[in-house]
Amino acid sequence: MTEINETYKEKISFNKRLIFLYVAFGILGVAFYYQIFNLQISNYSEYEIAAENNKNEEISVQPLRGIIFDRNGEILVNNIPTFDLITKPFFIDNPDDFLLKLSSFLEIDEEDKKVFLSEFEKAKTLNKELTLKQSISDEDKAKFLVRSHMFENAYVGKRYLRNYLYPKIFSHSIGYVGKPNEDELDEIYEKRSLNKKINFTYTNQLIIGKTGLEFTYEDILTGEFGNNLREVDARGRTLNEKISSEPKVGNNLYTSLDLNSHKAAHKAFNNRKGAVVAIDIKDGSIVTLFSSPTFPTNQLANGILQKDFDELLLSEEKPFFNRALKGRYPPASSIKPAIAMYGIEEGLIDWDFSIFDEGFFTLPEDGRIYRDWKEGGHGNTNLFKAITQSSNTYFFDLAYRSDINKLNKHLSSLGFGGKACIDCFEEDKVFVPEPSWKMNKHNFGWFKGDTVNMGVGQGYLVSTPIQLAKYAYIMANKGKFSDLSLKKDLVKSEKSIEFNKFSNDDWFKLHESMVNVIEGNTGTARRLRERKNYIVAAKTGTAELVSGDNREQYSETRLDDSLRDHALIIAFGPMPNPRYAVSVVVENGESGGSVAGPVAISVLNSLIQE
Amino acid sequence: MRYLDFKKFSIYYDPYLIISITLLSILGLFFLYSASDGNASVLIKQSIFVFFGIILMIVLSQPDPQIYYSYSGFFLLISIILVFIAIFFGPEINGANRWISFGFVTLQPSELCKIFLPIFIASYLYGVKLPINLKNTLLTIFLIFIVFLIVSSQPDLGTAIVILLSGLYVLFLAGLSWTFIGSALAIFVISLPFLWNNFLEPFQRQRIATLFNPDLDPFGSAWNITQSKIAIGSGGIFGKGFGEGTQSHLNFLPETETDFIFAVIAEEFGLVGLTILIGLYFFIFVRCFYLSINARDRFCRLVIGGLSLVFISTLFINIGMVIGLLPVVGMPLPLISQGGSSLISFYIAFGIIISMASHKKLVPR
């Protein structure tokens, strides 16, 4: 009996507990059902939109980039169509089989295959297109098209390549385009308020300006992005693609650059290191901006082998370095007209003042000797002779008597130590050496001798070719100037240098003395006379990299190419009404007159005798 | 009468369970076909499992429950040995050793533990007087934890949790004292922070954290839940239709054939489809409830009750996870998700349930 009682008690307990658990699950079940009801009925529209947004894809369509012209309307950069083989990984079950099938009639690089396989899974998951092979040949295109019925998961797509018509001539001035990196891409998304979910029709298409004018005028050249809305069904097939906004083609860029002068510069430099900058005196626009050696822009924009790129990057010639905007060179004797202007303005000299040049200047403080380039000196020397024959002694003496702070102010007003160009890419403004700069940098006070060295453009004073060109332009235009620029017809205000004593007559005499540098029988660049049929004013310079105390030492340094002096010239013409100003630096070229001079004349010839 | 008498031998069966389970299995194949993007090989493999699984269920219905009572310890031992074989000799997949490979098929032996652990406990507690004393309680709990720890070391937290529950259900139904339940719960709550810090992997903590705040990690572990909710919600009342679920087919939804198949069904068949599906499950629960209340003895009562609750728990954990109310843990939708091990284990469970429901004790006239 107790056993039956026990069984009965157990059964009742079991039933109660089972009911308890079932009721607990029942309550949970109601809660779950309520949640499902909430999702599917109460918030249906919200989730429906979310699902639609998931599957529909916004595709940004990049507009065609603007064309770049030279100042005469010659096309320098345009776009040419190319064809890529594009795949749709969503419809590819096995990428290896797919590649095998394609390889049976198309040659595909191992590198391309590797990239394809590594990106495949991601593209498949996101249902994005993936470029397998860029710029396929017409033959490959035809081979694929006849078999296209076998490939629902691939197609041939058209794309535009940036085409540099003169890839080795405008490398530094125009620059090149390229694929944006992650940071640049984020910036584009933000600036153009593009949806991050977008897919640029296919990968690799988006290009942006990386350097030069392509970078500076990126906004003008790019245009407006278009938008396509792609609707897909549950199998990933495109149902339709609606254009929600058309892309707007980028604006063309008209530059002040002159094609012929660049060709002349390229030829004259013949891959030697250096730079030439030429300026149209009418409005301060840059007609020539050339740095040598150059690099091939088409390859950089449209694909370069890593090996070739590394070779360029590591080359001792430093082809990527824009010497015209960033090369730091002592102006050497080409600074002398500027020192002369200062001397006249400050009343330290006039055109009649003369010294006896015995071949050196002695610093009164410590008896240190500063040598002229000509042994024995130039004898009795006035300013005209000092400029024409480039007497160092005369300018050592003048600089010695100058106030360094006032002199610096004067050099700054001529553009030294300041940015010369308003739309150049990464210009180095360098500096004018102040006594305080020397104290900070070298922890040494300013010596009188430092000022003396500046009188011949040596010592701490450095400048870039574009600054030298601006300086030549200001002198050619008698103190009036505008900021330099590369875009044609840019509205700029005209500025001028204020003088008290330096008069129009002084300008005339200064020009005359500089004309005599070439035209006079004793001028330092007289050998240039035969190379042209108009009159040019100039000042040569030879920037010493190593100063030797005596002739033997000097001869030794000449044996090492990289220690040889830089050859410089600034020039403007045709005189008496100059139209162009030019500066040339030839690294390790030694003699301003005979090495830099011919380059300057070639460029001027191409501009003046067109 | 629960058996057909063919003079020589009898077949034991329960028509309600067999019909509803077969119906659910066939429906499952239909859903799986869509969830696997119409993959025929997945469907054929699963169909073979369903076919032999149902036969296995009927075969297991035939022995008298006495057999299961006598051999319960043996079955549990075999299951645990198989788990150890999987840990030490099985193939490593995604860093886990849960499987034993038989060449043409790989099976997960831990699924068997959730059947044979509750049966063994039921047999152990069969003769124990009410209320169960402390010694028996602790011995049982000790056993449950041993099996739990073995399985979670594979690692397989989902199955381990179900095994833990399966044992506790039987212990509870057998008459675990309320005093013990109360104090155990109190200790559990107090030690919760300790457990959180020491027993959960960082990714598991992350999953729980994102459950309460999905914005915490919209592209990480919450991504799956967000996409799952979008799939369910966008299904609406009638769904998008068979094979038309964009969330399911465009790879927004993860694990569509296995853990998230419920979301696929919700997207393609809507609330109507879900209600029919849930209705079928509900029918099975009600039938199991009836059978356990009317079972012939305490052992059968405990086994039917315990196994049916394992089935219910699996279902609730899966759905709870897919609709975003429970943290993400690997758990199949019973009888529907792709995967032979889960399927076979439930056929075994129902085979045993039917055996216990259809064999009546012969009362001497």
Give the least confident one: A106-110, A582-586, B198-202: B198-202
Q: How far is A32 from chain B (nearest CA, A)?
A: 7
Nearest to B230 among A33, A35, A54 (CB): A54
pLDDT of residue A197: 57
Q: Which residues of A touch B270 (CB under 8 A)?
A: 40
Q: Is A363 in the B-facing interface, judged by CB distances under 8 Å?
A: no
Q: Is B247 in the A-facing interface, judged by CB distances under 8 Å?
A: yes
pLDDT of residue A202: 45
Nearest to B316 among A13, A28, A40 (CB): A28
- Antiparallel, parallel or unpaired: β A177-178 and A130-133: unpaired
Residue of A30, A36, A128, A238 to mutate for B, most B C-beta atoms under 10 A: A36
Q: Tens digit of pLDDT for each residue in A217-228?
A: 999 998 888 887
pLDDT at A75 exceeding the cut of 80: yes
Chain centroid to CA A423: 10
Q: Tens digit of pLDDT for each residue in B26-42?
A: 999 999 998 988 889 99
Q: Tens digit of pLDDT for each residue in A353-387?
A: 999 999 899 998 888 889 888 888 899 999 999 99
pLDDT at A326 exceeding the cut of 90: yes
Quick check: helix, strand or coil at residue A74?
A: coil
Q: Which residues of A touch B40 (CB under 8 A)?
A: none
pLDDT of residue B156: 85
Residues of A assigned a catalytic role: 333
Mean of pLDDT over chain A: 88
Place of tokens 């216990």: B356
Residue B37 contacts residue B87 (beta carbons within 8 Å): no
Quick check: helix, strand or coil at residue B92?
A: coil
Chain centroid to CA A16: 85
At the top level of CATH, the class of A57-254 is alpha beta
At the second CATH level, the architecture of A259-312+328-608 is 3-Layer(aba) Sandwich (3.40)
Helix B65-89 × helix B110-125 angle, to 10°: 140
pLDDT at A550 exceeding the cut of 80: no
Q: Taking every pair of C-alpha atoms in chain A, what is the biggest distance, in angstroms?
A: 148
Between residues A307 and A560, the one the model is more confident about: A307
- In sequence order, the 6+-apart residues with CB closer than 8 A to the CB of A79 are A64, A65, A67, A160, A161, A162, A163
Confidence grade of residue A203 (pLDDT, cut at 50, 70, 90): very low
* Closest listed residue to residue A162, CA positions, set A102, A219, A88, A222: A222
Residue A108 contacts residue A102 (beta carbons within 8 Å): yes
Q: Is the dihedral of CA A292, A296, A301, A303 positive or negative?
A: negative
Give the least confident one: A272-281, A346-355, B202-211, B249-258: B202-211
Residue A57 contacts residue A230 (beta carbons within 8 Å): yes
- In sequence order, the 6+-apart residues with CB closer than 8 A to the CB of A220 are A66, A250, A251, A253
Domain ranges for chain B: 9-358
User: Rounded to whole angstroms, how far apart are CA atoms B111 and A166?
Assistant: 73
Mean of pLDDT over chain B: 89
**Dihedral over alpha carbons A127, A128, A134, A135 (to 10 degrees):** 100
Subunit contact A10:B298, Cβ cutoff 8 A: yes
Q: Is the dihedral of CA A313, A317, A319, A320 positive or negative?
A: positive
Q: Is A42 in the B-facing interface, judged by CB distances under 8 Å?
A: no
Q: Is A39 in the B-facing interface, judged by CB distances under 8 Å?
A: yes
pLDDT at B200 exceeding the cut of 90: no
